[in-house]
Amino acid sequence: MKDFMRYIFGEVKNNRLSKMDAIGLIRQFQTQAIFNKPYSIHPLLHQNTSDLSEQRFTSTFTGREFFLADHVVHGQQLLPEAACLEMARAAVEQAAGALEQAKVRLKNVAWAEPIVIGDRYIQIHIGLYPEETGWIAYEIYSKPDEAGEERIVHSQGLAVLDTDREAPVLNISALQAQCSQSSLSSSQYYEAFKAMGFDYGSAHRGLEQVFVGQSQVLARLILPPSVAATKDQFVLHPSLMDSALQASMCLMMNDGEIMPYNSNTPGRPALPFALEEFEVFESCLPTMWALVRRSEGSQAGDRLQKLDIDLCDDEGKVCVRMKGFTARVTDGEPGLTESSAIHGTLMLKPCWREQAVAGKVQSHEYGRHLVILCEQTEITPQSITDRMDKIYCLALQSPQQGIGERFQTYTAQVFEEIKNILRDKSKDKILVQIVISTQKEQQLFFALSGLLKTAQLENPKLTGQMIEVEPEEDSGRIVKKLQENSQCPLD
């Protein structure tokens, strides 16, 4: 590089090369150097590009990487969502330095916008932001070429360094006995995946056998031979992690939520969006088992599927544990369009059960009461505050078209409001109610419940509620629901 620069400067100085041509040659040289230079930190974490504003790592992907070349959705190369987990883990481990022996644990993970590799390379950044609670917030983002454009956040979550904890152990033999309804080869599932638009190359065909049980599947995973040489480069190998998520689709296929494996009809894929908790005990191994079952409160038929996934070794020792992994079954036509595949990735819905309001309930008084109206275009905050005493009401609205972008904006707003409430360290009881519509797309904003759950864990005096309303309900009926639910904090 130094010799090249010296040559260029000499040519400019001797008037044999214009400044504009020199700049073009330098850029071309740097781009080629990026493509030819091996990663310096980690396959998903190439350079430390931190400055005074943030702790940051930057990676440049060309599309030739196995986790991109063999992960194609409707003709477009996508960075697997599972790879984002390894990227976050590696970034926190690198930033920890001397504490690198500690295990990284993640929570409240969201995939807001897929990372798509077009006809040129793409730079992806991950920023780390320490919080007062001891957790580290992270964002995986890119920056558009146009000057002044805001960053695009693809994934975000919270991380913490944990001391080593004893890994749980599963009884593989007992699980095989429970999952004996049927046993299917991977080829049957990969044919179904392809019909849904998921074109997996050899590096992402890690499913060997799938054993089906009641509301659970046990999958045998192998590291594909084509990427066997990369096994020591990752703690969470993208091929194995993505295959574990593929196993979650197998569960939904067998429950008829998406296209059954033996159907000739184009199916409806389930796309990842959120993960409540993620814990790493050991590195992934070349052969593993993945146990996928429904999370507590989740059941077949729910539009938003919430699952728990364990990856373990042949002895049953859990290496990776995922809780509250959520996938949304796409809507609309039987086949998945390119647009919905790339941009329709939001999901997360708890299982709600109706309960009659008791005639007499204990009165609950709150020192602070926050009501958040999520895209309630016909209802204003004032129409709520005029009918209720001692509350603060705000409305979430965004001009952005994509639901992923809107959700990202609302998450940031709700997070700031809750953070301000918790910062006051009030001894009074606090109630936060988020009002969302029953309309299909807006049902996806149930993902905001994850913020409420986290806030309740940090401050037991805070109660969080998601209030569901019909589009035609007026402010009077909404106020009645808010008041009734405020007296049922445990519902």
Helices 2-13/19-36 angle, 10° precision:
170
242 is catalytic: yes
CA neighbor of 114 nearest in space, from 62, 72, 60: 72
Sheet containing 116-117, strands listed edge to edge, beginning at the edge strand earlier in sequence: 116-117, 76-78, 71-73, 198-200
Q: Residue 50 burial by CB count (10 A; 0-12/13-18/19+): exposed, middle or buried?
A: middle
145 is catalytic: no
Report the half-sphere exposure of 342 (CA within 13 A, side-chain side): 13
β partners of residue 292 = 217, 309
In the numeric block, which tokens belong to residue 212? 């089906």
Cα-atom radius of gyration of the chain, to the nearest Å?
25
Helices 449-458/403-423 angle, 10° precision:
20
**Catalytic residue from among 46, 71, 74, 204:** 71
CA distances from 458 to 339, 343, 369, 371 (A): 39, 33, 17, 20
d(CA 412, CA 158): 13
In the numeric block, which tokens belong to residue 369? 């009461």
Contact 74, 197 (CB under 8 A): yes
The three-class DSSP label of residue 58 is strand
CA neighbor of 483 nearest in space, from 448, 442, 431: 431
In the numeric block, which tokens belong to residue 172? 């593989």
Report the half-sphere exposure of 240 (CA within 13 A, side-chain side): 30
Q: Which residue has the tokens 């049980």?
A: 213
Q: To the nearest 10°, the Cα dihedral for 277, 281, 286, 292?
A: -40
Kindly provide the b/e burial profile for residues 449-461, where b requires at least 16 CB atoms within 10 angstroms of the residue's own CB: bbbbebbeeeeeb
**Catalytic residue from among 42, 125, 242, 343:** 242
The three-class DSSP label of residue 292 is strand
Residues with a known catalytic role = 71, 242
